[in-house]
A = this chain, B = another copy of it.
Amino acid sequence: MVVTLTIGLDLGGTFVFALSGAMAGVKHRLDLFGVLVLSFAAATSGGIARDVFIGAVPPAAISDWRYIAIPVLAGVIAFYWHPILERLQSSVLLFDAAGLSLFAVSGALKALAFHLGPVSAAILGMATGIGGGIVRDLLIAEIPTVLKSEIYAVAALTGAGVVVVGSLLQFPAHVVCAAGFVSCFALRFAAIRRGWRLPKPVQPSRGESRSGRSHG
């Protein structure tokens, strides 16, 4: 049952992140296939990295047709109906938060199922959650938003950590998943709504930056 739960959470996250990747492609005026490649990369990179790291090869995103069909579907939707999606911009932020939470939970669950230790499982859950967005931003040559934005990776780590602790305490799997999802989503949602941010370095290091792009 845990397997079914993991896959269900994973597929949900796949769809949401595929939409985010496809929208990024539309914004950069890519052609249809470029949009599909970004959709696939955003949706599957986190899970592929997780599966490679735990030795679950070939990764589910390659061997299971649903992980291929869903990004194609999301890419086509974004390509033809992006004006509607853009009006839902704040909804997209919520979808993204949902995807982050789904992947953080499914990543931690799968790592535990492959007998990784608790700290490793929490780290892998976080990596599964943030990996897709990092690759998406790299491909469009931007500094990954996870590095710059409000509480994001922290939320994923929290959700994954809740799953790991709950599993160690042998709570039922669906309770653990719900708690992990809610804790990640609530933290991310609050960060968006209230503009919560983590502290920045005390003093800027003037004239040190080798690139002016971070100020552009």
What residues of chain A have their CB less than 8 Å away from a CB belonging to chain B? 25-35, 37-38, 48, 52-55, 57-59, 62-63, 65, 68, 79-80, 82-83, 86, 114, 116-117, 119-120, 123-124, 130, 134, 138-144, 146-148, 151-154, 197-205, 208-214, 216
Contact = CB atoms under 8 A, between A and B. Distances in A.
A32 B123 CA distance: 17
A92 to B, nearest CB: 12
A63 B120 contact: yes
Contacts of A79: 201
Contacts of A82: 201, 203, 205
**In the assembly, how many copies of this chain are there?**
3
24 contacts: A26-B205, A27-B205, A28-B214, A29-B200, A29-B214, A31-B197, A32-B198, A33-B152, A34-B153, A34-B198, A35-B201, A52-B53, A53-B58, A53-B59, A54-B57, A55-B57, A63-B120, A65-B117, A79-B201, A80-B202, A82-B201, A140-B211, A140-B214, A141-B143
Contacts of A141: 141-143, 211, 213
A49 to B, nearest CB: 9
Nearest to A118: B65
A147 B34 contact: yes
Contact of A139 (B58, B63, B143, B209): B143
A146 B40 CA distance: 14
A159 to B, nearest CB: 14
A53 to B, nearest CB: 5
A119 B83 contact: no
A63 B29 contact: no
A209 B142 CA distance: 11
Contacts of A29: 200-201, 204, 214
